[in-house]
Structure 1
Amino acid sequence: MQKICVIGGSRYFGKLLVKRLQAAGHRVTVINRGSTPPPAGVEHLVVDRNDEAALMAALDARTFDVVVDQVCYTPVQAAIAARAFAGARRYVMTSTIEVYDPATAALPAVPAGMPVPEEIVDPATWLVAMDLPWHDDVYLEAHYAEGKRQAEAVFARAGRFEFASVRSAHVLGGGAQEFTGRLAHYVGRITKGDEIAVHAKALPTVFIHYQELADLLLWAATADFTGPVNACSDGPLDVHHLAAIIATQAGQEPVYRTVAAGEEASAFSFDRHYVMSNARAKALGFSFSHTTDWLPGAVAETLTAEPSPTARN
């Protein structure tokens, strides 16, 4: 049994992670702003993580074996957390595939079609700029990927605990729980016969089921590796393959509209190869499912779920 703190953990795979940590026998504490209470038996600290003094007071000299940070988006937040949880043995941050987006940073070249390995973005060497307007919501939305990269960098250099980051693929599944609304967007358009905007040559990306991501975070919390790991199911899909799986479940053929160069397409239609390698996680002992094993079930859940608002993955 370990004392594990989850920052966030109020919805989707974070909520599931809390339940699985508790079921595994760990003593779990959840920190959030009070929007959703955790399960019975889980300690709940209501505090804004951005308020360092309030966070320190809420912790009240508590120490944890492991911290799993679900909601760190900026280097400023990372610096506060690194100080507040300096007594932890291990710190795991949920990161994102978007750290590899070449549109948001100058990254080393990867051979065309090659799944991107973790070393392409090395948090130990990434430049950190604390003086950028990270507290501005509009700026943060526009610089989401860079905020994640810099947050990883702050933790990697903190030197106070073992640090690992989990770079998640696009998360799907859970019906109404899937707060991004992206799978629901596709299901809705296909069932209604509405057009899906796609690139002339749509290239593949990677996905992960929300339950598999919760499993991986549980594994990462109790492992001893450090550094980033990519989290994605086997089997990349392009937008046409994704839509075909949805169409089979919905009984309705998709209708496509090809966008001009530079025009915005639907989510998951990419004009660049956007695939991560999950080889490191496998080598460390985690086994992934194949996307086509769980996607039909996720589509079926979405077909019967109420629509949810779109948000950042």
Structure 2
Amino acid sequence: MRNILVLGGTRFFGKRLVERLLRDADTTVTILTRGLTEDGFGRSVNRLNVNRTDTEALAEAVGDTVWDVVYDNICYSPDEAAAASHIFANTAKRYILTSSLSVYDPRSEILREADFDPESYPLRLGPKDDYSYQEGKRLAETVLLRQTAFPVAAVRFPIVLGTDDYTKRLHFHIEHVQEGQPIGVPNPQALISFIRSDEAADFLYWLGFSPLTGPVNACSDGTLTIGNILSIIGQATGQQAEVQSETADKDRSPFGIRESWYMDTAKARKAGFPFLKLAEWFPELVLELVSERNASLGHRE
């Protein structure tokens, strides 16, 4: 019987990961969250309701239970990573940190794992509020990948999309196009990577069985420019996007990067993971979101 702990498994790809794990009859799943979000799993999972930033409470909650895999989707600081390194030192057989494309600075060339090396990065400790999202993830990787008590893989995801995306970044673009509002895009030709929420969950699940360690890039095959994205939305809505290089803050694209920001996935592909093709699923997702929004607007009217 495999014993799995998921830190942060009540929404988005974390919830999808739990759903995937529960399909295995030989797996016991425990989710650790603050208990603020209804997960809908009923009695199929065990629950530990604790704030993971409270080190003493976290240690008490997980106790001395041995975990075949610990999935950490909610680590944002070196202090949180250091606490996990200590707490799970004798109980985690494998640890998977959800990291981010954000550890890389945008640039025109494709980004490979070696382009940010946590092994040589200057280590500093501190809580989440001391660091930007980028720096927090960099330092979390640095802490966890330097400890030697258990093997660690750090998954570098790009922007994750799906109908269940609570950040609604793609929704933002659809709404602006349909309502004729300007969208601030500093560089429409910038290339960007994405991954779908179910694909992200499938990758995490697969990685739990994989021997891969260290940083691992994970994104759908292919890239889109911001201009491509708005063109696809235009085709789906029948309305053209009003693109401006400068707008008010509320109208700036969440995808509005000034330089390209996209990853190479050769490490994961060589190990056997088949990524989805971005060009195939992205237009389908846009159509689904447009249809949902149209139905919602029609219902309200």
User: TM-score normalized by structure 2?
Assistant: 0.90
- Structure 1 counterpart of 2:70, which letter? V
Unaligned runs of 5+ in 2: 295-301
Once the two structures are TM-superposed, the CA of residue 15 in structure 1 deviates from its matched residue by: 0.4
Once the two structures are TM-superposed, the CA of residue 280 in structure 1 deviates from its matched residue by: 1.1
Which deviates further from its counterpart, 219-228 or 31-40?
A: 31-40
- Structure 1 counterpart of 2:110, which letter? P
- Note the 1:82-93 alignment, pairs <5 A: 82-86=85-89, 87-93=91-97
Instruction: Please name the residue that 2:100 is paired with.
Output: 96
Determine the C-alpha separation between the residues in 1 that align with 2:137 and 2:291. 34
Instruction: Please name the residue that 1:107 is paired with.
Output: none
Instruction: Please name the residue that 1:302 is paired with.
Output: 289
SS of alignment partner, residue 192 of structure 2: coil
- Note the 1:136-175 alignment, pairs <5 A: 136=129, 139-140=130-131, 143-174=132-163
Q: 2:50 aligns with which of 47, 52, 57?
A: 47
Instruction: Please name the residue that 2:237 is paired with.
Output: 250
- Structure 1 counterpart of 2:86, which letter? R
- Structure 1 counterpart of 2:18, which letter? V
Q: Check the 8 A contact 1:167/1:230 in 2, yes or no.
A: yes
- Note the 1:191-210 alignment, pairs <5 A: 191-200=178-187, 202-210=189-197
Once the two structures are TM-superposed, the CA of residue 270 in structure 1 deviates from its matched residue by: 2.0
Once the two structures are TM-superposed, the CA of residue 10 in structure 1 deviates from its matched residue by: 1.0
Is residue 17 of structure 2 the alignment partner of residue 22 of structure 1?
no
Q: Check the 8 A contact 1:168/1:232 in 2, yes or no.
A: yes
Q: Deviations over 1:163-193 (max 9, x none)?
A: 001100111112xx21111101100011112
Once the two structures are TM-superposed, the CA of residue 113 in structure 1 deviates from its matched residue by: 3.7
Q: Check the 8 A contact 2:187/2:256 in 1, yes or no.
A: no
Q: Check the 8 A contact 2:128/2:136 in 1, yes or no.
A: no
- % same residue: 37
Determine the C-alpha separation between the residues in 2 that align with 1:71 and 1:162. 18
Determine the C-alpha separation between the residues in 2 that align with 1:135 and 1:285. 34
SS of alignment partner, residue 44 of structure 1: strand
Determine the C-alpha separation between the residues in 1 that align with 2:215 and 2:61. 29
SS of alignment partner, residue 29 of structure 2: strand
Q: Check 1:200–1:231 CA distance in 2 against 1; reply closer, same or farther (3 A cut).
A: closer
Unaligned runs of 5+ in 1: 103-111, 308-313
Once the two structures are TM-superposed, the CA of residue 196 in structure 1 deviates from its matched residue by: 1.5
Q: Check the 8 A contact 1:168/1:230 in 2, yes or no.
A: yes
Q: Check 1:83–1:305 CA distance in 2 against 1; reply closer, same or farther (3 A cut).
A: farther
Determine the C-alpha separation between the residues in 2 that align with 1:24 and 1:243. 40
Once the two structures are TM-superposed, the CA of residue 114 in structure 1 deviates from its matched residue by: 2.5
Structure 1 residue ranges, 4+ long, deviating more than 4 angstroms after superposition: 304-307
Q: Check the 8 A contact 1:101/1:145 in 2, yes or no.
A: no
Once the two structures are TM-superposed, the CA of residue 306 in structure 1 deviates from its matched residue by: 6.5
Q: Check the 8 A contact 1:207/1:232 in 2, yes or no.
A: yes
Once the two structures are TM-superposed, the CA of residue 63 in structure 1 deviates from its matched residue by: 1.4
Once the two structures are TM-superposed, the CA of residue 304 in structure 1 deviates from its matched residue by: 4.3
Q: How many aligned residue pairs are there?
A: 287
Q: 1:229 aligns with which of 207, 216, 219?
A: 216
C-alpha root-mean-square deviation of aligned residues, in Å?
Answer: 1.9
Q: 1:180 aligns with which of 155, 167, 181?
A: 167
Once the two structures are TM-superposed, the CA of residue 258 in structure 1 deviates from its matched residue by: 2.5
Q: Check the 8 A contact 1:173/1:301 in 2, yes or no.
A: no
Determine the C-alpha separation between the residues in 1 that align with 2:292 and 2:152. 37
User: TM-score normalized by structure 1?
Assistant: 0.87
Instruction: Please name the residue that 1:68 is paired with.
Output: 71
